[in-house]
Amino acid sequence: MMTHQFNPKTCASDCFGCKLITLSFGKVDIDGQKKWDKNHQRNVAAYTRLRHDGTQPKSVNGAAELESRAASVFEIESGINLGGNAKAGKQYDEIQGIIKAGGTV
């Protein structure tokens, strides 16, 4: 096993051995990573279901929460939470349907 110690006479400013001495590894948060993985899997599954239903969520992140609280297509596609006001969401959906059909509101 070789070791390196800084020597101002032999070490240049770009000495690889000196750079390796300063190398350190951080602590990995395994529990946090597992939690993130579990949430990400839930979000991916929810995003896939929403896409299969014909809607386009803004992002995979937060798709599980969006799927559980959204009462309308407008809420899913815009990401705007209407606070559980299903009537307002349905009105937005109706208006969007009319606009897509080429009618006037």
pLDDT 10s digits, 15-73: 887 777 777 788 888 888 899 999 999 999 999 999 998 888 888 998 898 888 887 77
What's this model's pTM, rounded to 2 decimal places?
0.57
Q: 57 or 6: whose pLDDT is higher?
A: 57
Q: How does 30-64 read in b/e, with b if 16+ C-beta sit within 10 Å?
A: eeeeeeeeeeeeebeebbeebeeeebebeebeebb
Q: 39 or 93: whose pLDDT is higher?
A: 39
d(CA 83, CA 18): 58
pLDDT of residue 84: 62
Contact 38, 58 (CB under 8 A): no
d(CA 96, CA 39): 32
